[in-house]
Amino acid sequence: MAPLDLTADVVSLTRALVDLPSESGQEGRIADAVEEALGALAHLTVDRVGNSVIARTDLGRPERVLLAGHLDTVPAAGNLPSRLAGGRVYGLGACDMKGGVAVGLRLAATLPETARDVTYVFYECEEVEGERNGLGRIAAARPGLLEEAGLAVLMEPSDAGVEAGCQGILTADIVIEGARAHTARAWQGVNAAHRAGRVLQRLDAHVPERVVVDGLEYREGLGAVAVRAGVAGNVVPDECVVTVNCRFAPSRSAAEAEAYVRGLFPEYEVRVTEVVAGALPHLDRVGGLVAALGAEPRPKLGWTDVARFAALGVPALNYGPGDPSLAHTAGEYVPVGHLGRCEAGLRAWLR
């Protein structure tokens, strides 16, 4: 394998990263390449936790900032190798988020002198269950390493604009009970699926709130993502489970979100299977960066790892190349213009 050339332009570097497959759990090769390339730079101290690589400047600046991007991708979908066409880099992970990683690597390699000390984090397993997430592993293995930064930039695709904070996620099963019976004598039972009609209609009629935080409007959401009922073709089902996914504004805590959803379905068993708070935009603390980037901040509706930084007490925002709605699609791409804009914006701020 050819080593990564961090002096190459950001487009070439993006393509080289795309062509280094790194589905979640299989980031060994790309982490090796990143570690080797960064390890060759005298101005950086490089550390590794699992298949995550951390590189730090140590210039004695009073302030430290952190740039982070994940190395892993979802599974391939016939979208390898990379190709450049019409001003876009196509290929697995081009958008989510090897374009952002390329920007981060370019900055790490070409900015020996910065106004603030910088910690660069390139991590594993963002696309899978949270326990495997590289940031979590780093936080556990190197206490204080992430927290020493006063500000974090997560280079997830955000259309090369600033997406501030992020909403929380709650997933719950609403369990509707009934009583089995043979369908030839259905009146002897209670049809749980029929009873679920009320739950689904309540969800249909529900008007999610719009919550303004720091002047940004977070549009909440609550809806069914799955419905399951069925015992056999001739049996009245005695259980119907409606799985709901709730997106809640960062001003609500996980406990508040849970109480909110339970309050909407007081007469049913509600089993919360996942709840993670979002991240406040903290425009007061990230304002300098936002101004330097010259971007009008927008609210981030999807959950991202900025919430992990928020939980560590590090205000963070999303800023990276690529359209987030293309993430995980077979046709994902990153515009060359985004790559240049993000690299230039962060370079100006860091220098």
| Binding footprint of a copy of itself on the chain (CB under 8 A) | 167, 171, 182-187, 191, 193-204, 208, 219, 221, 223-237, 240, 242-243, 245, 247, 301-303, 325
For a copy of itself, which is the closer residue by CB, 126 or 343?
A: 126
Distance of CA 9 to the CA centre of its chain: 26
**Which among 221, 30, 62, 59 is positioned nearest to 126, based on CA atoms?**
30
Residue pair 55/38 in contact (Cβ under 8 Å)? The answer is yes
For a copy of itself, which is the closer residue by CB, 224 or 270?
A: 224
145: left (phi over 0), alpha (psi -120 to 50) or beta: alpha
Residue pair 332/96 in contact (Cβ under 8 Å)? The answer is yes
Residue pair 43/57 in contact (Cβ under 8 Å)? The answer is yes
Distance CA 255, CA 258 (A): 5
For a copy of itself, which is the closer residue by CB, 208 or 340?
A: 208
For a copy of itself, which is the closer residue by CB, 111 or 326?
A: 326
Q: How far is the CB of 332 from a copy of itself (least distance, A)?
A: 14
Identity of the amino acid at 7: T
Q: How far is the CB of 206 from a copy of itself (least distance, A)?
A: 9
Q: Which residues are catalytic?
A: 72, 126
For a copy of itself, which is the closer residue by CB, 213 or 301?
A: 301
326: left (phi over 0), alpha (psi -120 to 50) or beta: alpha
| C-alpha dihedral, 55 to 59 to 62 to 64, nearest 10° | -10
Structure token digits, residue 156: 């997830």
Distance CA 308, CA 316 (A): 9
Please give the DSSP secondary-structure letter assigned to residue 89.
E
Please give the DSSP secondary-structure letter assigned to residue 103.
H
Q: How far is the CB of 274 from a copy of itself (least distance, A)?
A: 8
* Phi, psi (degrees; rounded to nearest 5) at 43: -85, 5
How open is the CA angle 248-67-333, to the nearest 5 degrees?
75
For a copy of itself, which is the closer residue by CB, 141 or 226?
A: 226
Give the Å distances, CA to CA, from 221 to 33, 43, 156, 279, 280.
Answer: 40, 46, 22, 16, 17
